[in-house]
Amino acid sequence: MSSNSSRMQNFPLVFHASPDQMIAWRNGAPVSVRAFLADVRALADALPEGGHVFNVCTDRYRFTVSLCATLVAGKTSLLPSTHTPEMVRALASFAPDAFCLHDNDDCAIDLPRFRYPELAASRVESEAKVPHIDGARVVAYVFTSGSTGVPVPHRKTWGFLVKNVRAAAARLGLLGQAGATLIGTVPPQHMYGFESTVLLALIGGLAFSNRQPFYPVDIRAELAAVPEPRVLVSSPIHLRALFANEEALPRASLVLSATAPLAEKLALDAETRLEAPLMEIYGSTETGQIATRRTARTAAWELFPDIVLTPRADDSGEQTMWASGGHVEVPVPMGDALELIDGTHFLLHGRKADLINIAGKRTSLAYLNHQLNAVPGVIDGVFYMPDESDADTDTVRRLMALVVAPELAAADLQRALRERIDAAFMPRPLLFVDSLPRNATGKLPREVLTQLIEQERNRKAALTFTVPPAHPALAGHFPGRPIVPGVVLLDHALDAIGSALGTNFGACRIESAKFLSPAVPGEALDITYETSASGAIRFTIRAGVRAVASGALARDMQAS
């Protein structure tokens, strides 16, 4: 729909056929369209002055009522990608009249704040009048981080959103499925959650659950709490955790996934465990949703009707795909490496910014992440390419990887990776961590990942030590050619590992210790360690590449 036609056409706020139809489930209780509209009107009348609303309500029902009340009251929603103080300052600069609409007693956002009021006593009118909204009306500004880190606003009109979501609902077979309920593990403020758990309900005539289950037990409980047909709106990280054990799951009628590429095996697991087709959604903040694929059956994406991808070369000769047509009001360059198969199908090769070239060999971080996470025993993992820096001394930037794999030894994981990826892309270093700092949608913001890597590097730096020549244990020990006694090496290993783990070991049981080569006073020694699933700690002490000692500590050690 062009912007001109949007100005000439109004669309209803909700597309449900009857005011008595269910639009939401609040903590397991049904909410009718009639009651929902009464809440929208009551909140619209209560909103304070200010033309822009930063809606941070965590309850999906309150978020949706707030979104609609903001629209009915003639105001505009602000939907940033993060809620950091820096982002809040950027919102205040963009919209000085903005206020924060929240439902949390602990809200500390530095804007004028308005608490979502208790609307339980709202009068439900016998005749529910559905507001109609001008298609050209700006519903929200959705912010992306921008290439320079400065938040970039993207306006979303009601006409754009209606056409986009109706196309998505048709593609997913959800138009006319009035009894279906959307259950989202992703937040409503994120573009994917906004489109697929909030707008899909409003514009598709469906219902949604107010809860946002995160842990597998909560997802399982929420699936059981609402009647069939159920649509699970999730992400790869949530689905992987959900299928980590064999416990039976309530069936769904459809599963949706986005935010990161989904492995074929995980898609097959989802379809088997939930007895439903899984559809992956592709799009961007700028374009909205433009394609889907059934990942268990094909790697190819199918564009929505009327959407076109056109390759264009930039000044450097690099080709970029531009999306246009359908609900996309102006052509938009895509940030991904896309390969056209025909006029309606394409392959996704990852983010253009994630394409890497090492020693003349090319691959993508998405491919490497897929291979890492496909290794048996890997719970979660990610590759990371550092930014170039003037302080770099290496002529080649080194790929790194962080992995959550408590039952794998580093050597075993490295061996498995060598069978899957070219040696040029082997991570150096490979860092084992307890968990990855994924956000609510399962994504890993680069700045957070960078901080974690720096912390891990500092922790590893703390595991370097030297035994000075004046150490009292050296007196009389091989006079003229002193070597460090094994007991001193073990003592340093215990202190360093205890410090890294935040534990002061008062007593421990050393299961094994091997002294492989001598260490001399003043020599720089490095300690590496890993914790097995049983809790035992295996460690190695090295002088450069030479192994000096290795051993294992029992898990029944007592911290003093």
Is-cis flag, bond preceding 437, omega within 30?
Answer: no
- Distance between CA 255 and CA 229 in Å, rounded? 11
In this structure, the chain runs to a length of: 560
Region 331-349: mean pLDDT is: 93
E strands, 297-440, are 301-303, 308-313, 319-325, 328-333, 336-340, 345-351, 355-358, 361-364, 380-384, 400-404, 430-432
541 neighbors 549 (Cβ within 8 angstroms)? yes
Mean predicted confidence (pLDDT) in 9-23: 95
Query: ∠ CA(112), CA(114), CA(119), 5° rounding?
Result: 175
Residue 201: strand, helix, or coil: helix
Residue, of 140 and 318, whose pLDDT is higher: 140
> How many angstroms separate the CA atoms of 219 and 241, rounded?
10
**Average pLDDT, integer, range 83-108:** 92
- Sheet containing 278-284, strands listed edge to edge, beginning at the edge strand earlier in sequence: 29-32, 22-26, 207-209, 181-184, 230-234, 254-257, 278-284, 288-293, 301-303, 345-351, 336-340
Residue predicted with more confidence, 201 or 552: 201
Enter the pTM of the model: 0.74
Is a pLDDT exceeding 80 seen at residue 356? no
For 212, the token pair is 């946002």
Half-sphere CA count of 289, side-chain side, radius 13 A: 32
- Listed range (64-73, 440-449, 551-560) with the worst mean pLDDT: 551-560
**Looking at residues 365-392, what average pLDDT do you find?**
81
| pLDDT single digits (tens) 379-399 | 999 999 887 654 443 444 578
Q: Which amino acid type is present at position 416?
A: A
The values of phi and psi at residue 138, to 5°, are -80, 115
Which CATH number is 359-461 given? 3.30.300.30
Q: Kindly list the domain boundaries of the chain, sorted by start residue.
A: 3-351, 359-461, 464-559
Report, at the CATH architecture level, how domain 464-559 is classified: Roll (3.10)
- Report the pLDDT averaged over residues 227-237: 95
Question: What pLDDT score was predicted for residue 5?
Answer: 43
Residue 125: predicted pLDDT: 61
What's at 94, amino acid-wise?
A: F
Q: pLDDT by residue (tens digit) across 403-424?
A: 999 888 888 888 899 888 888 8
Q: In which band, very low, low, confident or very high, does the pLDDT at 1 lie, cut at 50, 70 and 90?
A: very low
Res. 350 pLDDT band, cuts 50 70 90:
confident
Residue 155: its pLDDT value, please?
94
CATH dotted code for 3-351: 3.40.50.12780
Q: What local confidence, expressed as pLDDT, does residue 397 receive?
A: 59
Structure tokens at 257: 């996934």
Q: What is the mean pLDDT of residues 144-154?
A: 73
